[in-house]
Chains A and B, each alone.
Chain A
Amino acid sequence: MTKVKRYHPLLMLFDLWQLLKNIFFIFIFLFIIKAGSQSLFITYGRLLFFIVCGVSFIYIILKWVTHKYGLDDRCFYLYKGILCKSERTIPFSKIQNVNRHTSLFHRMFNVTSISFETGMTGEDAAVKYEVVSKKEAERMEEFIASAVHEEAMNLSLLEMAVEKVDSNRVIHFKPMKKDILKASFTSLSFLLFIPLLLSFYSKVDDIFHVVEQTKGIFFSIIGSWWIVTTIVIVLIMASVGFGIARTFLKYGKYEISSDQDRIYITKGVLDETAFSIAKEKVQAIEIKQSILKRLLGFAEVKLTSAGSLSLGEEKLEINSLYPFLPDGRAYDMISEILPAYEVTQKMNRLPKKSLWFRVFSPSWIWMISSAALFYFKPAVLGIEQAWWIISAALLMVVVAARWLDFLHTQYILNDRFIQFKKGSLTTSLFVSKRDKVIEVKVTRNIFQKWLGLASIETINRAKPIQHNEIVDVPVDFAVSFYKWYMGRRKEIEIE
């Protein structure tokens, strides 16, 4: 076991910074907005404020003095507690994925934050280092990767014969300028400029009351067509520029790489985040396509991990391989980085009868909104009969969505793999292995029984637990699905 160490000293500064952020508004309220107030409430408030600040400050220092960590070739050992001491041991084999986040604060001091996520629930689910030097973070991540790797090697003697694997990383994807441009249009981020501008304008208006003054200018502008055109062109260019800049900051420095055992995803220009996961810990793959992405031929591949994907309160979308991959490339990349997974494009479709069943099954949304429309009979745009027109339109939308979902629904059991695809506007393809599915369920309601249909559901480890259901498959398929899952005994290794 390596010697037990304290955390990085800059952690104190980081905690102080967090404290300042949290008390900033209370400070403003107590000392600036209510500066002249003599009320009892404010006086005691100020006193309390100083006490809380003092105690937090002392706590930050004591925390750094008492909290320690160490690691050997199997486990993390974490020591904490000022009065009540606690010691925690976390074996590396329970670590599901590693998240790293380098915010602006971390950049200034050339440090980073890293968290090793386990599949447990609750507060202590992760081994977190809020401030750690880059070298130490790198060292720990590599250490864990190699420790788990060795353990895996010990399991099978056959693999021992393989010569020492070089940890050379292969880079699979880095977005080019072209990709960024395409991504910024697909994500429609340029549209965000307009609400931004409007909210800015309304804020300015709140302070300076410019509406009255600008009215005159507005009418003189709208009078001459060339000024209007120039303004429109400038606005369009600004919003496109804004969209590209935003996309670049978010997806600019994307990099997907992998070595023998692990997959690494890094992204972000200002705020850097990194995600890494051992290949055998990938619980499932999901390929998502919105309608726009489908039209332009993009796909997003997500890796499901049993560990948490967020850092603190922020939810980081870090398990996604680049969200705007050309869809052919997406499938290639899966076979490149996860050779243990097979994704087939050939899948079964639902039988015709399930389309009829779906179309004719009652839609609660439609029934309730129609009842409401019938009761209130609102006249929209002065049309008295608007209520039944809206109701009919809604029914058409519902039927269309069901029809689209029917068209998109596909499924197959491919040896050890299961694949579901579904969705009306946004489609998602879910692929998992039999040994990663932790539970299955087959249900039939009375109508499905009558038509010879059934619904099947898989449960996978993730945070939160992932349920995937496909409804109205033929009952024969449901039976073979049930039997397929029973065949799980062939794959699992028993400790």
Chain B
Amino acid sequence: MYPQMKGPQKRLSKDAVKVWIINETIMNVIGFLILGILLYLDFRFSWKEWIGWIIKGLIPIAVLGAVWSWINPFLLYKNWRYDVDEEFLQLKSGVINERHQLVPMTKIQSVATKQGPLLRKYGLCSVSIETMGSSHTIPALPKEIAIELRNQIAHYAKIKEVES
């Protein structure tokens, strides 16, 4: 880490890992099903040879992708940090590609909490923040914390900077 720099400290909910893994597993099952159907169709209707090669080539890639998608949530959770104060929203994520973002509160245009079926099962919310130039998402926070954070950001963002 950067010893000289005090980064953000707050972490995501621990359940985020479960949500991501379930999500990835569903995606992988769908992916493998599609590949399986394609392989069967290729065998049944004897498609052109090169199509078969492409499908067979995709299988090891899909397997590697699946393994990675089960490791990635742990890394993602371990390295995600955020923090807000009166002036800035700070975000930090990633281990192979580490990313620090610093967003002034006065430039935040809107903030929203969102909840899909999986997140709802674990009582989580994601917080998405739109600024003048980009959008950011804090992926999984416990619902009460997410709502509190949303209200806090909305309060801080109300302070207006003289715009020129």
Would B98 and A440 count as touching, CB distance under 8 A?
Answer: no
Would A485 and B102 count as touching, CB distance under 8 A?
Answer: yes
A416, CB-defined interface residue at 8 Å:
no
Interface centre among A281, A441, A483 (most CB of B within 10 A): A441
B10, CB-defined interface residue at 8 Å:
no
Give min CB distance, A345 to chain B, whole Å: 27
Give residues 422-465 of A contacting B (CB, 8 Å). Answer: 435, 438-446, 449, 459-461, 465
Contacts of A191 on B, CB cut-off 8 Å? none
Q: Which of B94, B95, B133, B163 contacts A439 (CB 8 A)?
A: B133
Would A495 and B104 count as touching, CB distance under 8 A?
Answer: no
Q: Which of A155, A443, A482 contacts B97 (CB 8 A)?
A: A443
A206, CB-defined interface residue at 8 Å:
no
CA distance A489 to B102 in the complex (A): 13
Would A483 and B104 count as touching, CB distance under 8 A?
Answer: no
Contacts of B104 on A, CB cut-off 8 Å? 438-439, 488, 492
Give min CB distance, A218 to chain B, whole Å: 50
CA distance A57 to B20 in the complex (A): 59
A486, CB-defined interface residue at 8 Å:
yes
Would B102 and A459 count as touching, CB distance under 8 A?
Answer: no
Would A482 and B102 count as touching, CB distance under 8 A?
Answer: yes
Contacts of A444 on B, CB cut-off 8 Å? 97-98
B70, CB-defined interface residue at 8 Å:
no
B26, CB-defined interface residue at 8 Å:
no
Chain A residues with a Cβ closer than 8 Å to the other chain, count:
34
Give residues 101-148 of B contacting A (CB, 8 Å). Answer: 101-104, 106-107, 131-134
Task: Name the residue on B nearest A445 (C-beta).
Answer: B97
Q: Which of A461, A479, A494 contacts B133 (CB 8 A)?
A: A461
A280, CB-defined interface residue at 8 Å:
yes
Contacts of B94 on A, CB cut-off 8 Å? 443
Contacts of A443 on B, CB cut-off 8 Å? 94, 97-100
A124, CB-defined interface residue at 8 Å:
no
Would B96 and A439 count as touching, CB distance under 8 A?
Answer: no
Give min CB distance, B136 to chain A, whole Å: 9
Q: Given contacts A438-B131, A438-B132, A439-B133, is CB(A494)–CB(B160) below 8 Å? A: yes
Give min CB distance, A432 to chain B, whole Å: 13
Q: Which of A441, A459, A476, A492 contacts B99 (CB 8 A)?
A: A441
Give min CB distance, A123 to chain B, whole Å: 19
Give min CB distance, B9 to chain A, whole Å: 16
CA distance A446 to B97 in the complex (A): 6
Q: Given contacts A479-B4, A486-B88, A493-B162, is CB(A439)–CB(B134) below 8 Å? A: yes
B87, CB-defined interface residue at 8 Å:
yes
Give min CB distance, A354 to chain B, whole Å: 17
Task: Name the residue on A nearest B89 (C-beta).
Answer: A439
Would A439 and B102 count as touching, CB distance under 8 A?
Answer: yes
B37, CB-defined interface residue at 8 Å:
no
Contacts of A485 on B, CB cut-off 8 Å? 102
Would B164 and A281 count as touching, CB distance under 8 A?
Answer: yes
Q: Mark B62-106, 1 if CB is under 8 A from A, else 0.
A: 000000000000000000000000011000001111111111101
B2, CB-defined interface residue at 8 Å:
yes
Would B99 and A494 count as touching, CB distance under 8 A?
Answer: no
Would A461 and B164 count as touching, CB distance under 8 A?
Answer: no
Query: 17 other contacts beyond A488-B104, A495-B159, with CB at 8 A cut-off?
Result: A155-B162, A278-B164, A280-B164, A438-B131, A439-B104, A439-B134, A442-B99, A444-B97, A445-B97, A445-B98, A459-B133, A479-B2, A489-B87, A492-B104, A494-B159, A494-B160, A495-B161
Give A contacts to B, CB under 8 Å. Answer: 93, 155, 278, 280-281, 435, 438-446, 449, 459-461, 465, 475-476, 478-479, 482-483, 485-486, 488-489, 492-495
Q: Which 8 A-B pairs have the closest CB atoms?
A: A493-B162, A495-B160, A280-B164, A442-B100, A459-B133, A465-B133, A444-B98, A492-B161
Task: Offer 18 A-B interface pairs, CB within 8 angstroms, sorted by A.
Answer: A155-B162, A438-B104, A438-B107, A438-B131, A439-B134, A443-B97, A443-B98, A446-B96, A459-B133, A460-B133, A465-B133, A482-B100, A486-B88, A486-B102, A489-B87, A492-B161, A494-B106, A495-B159
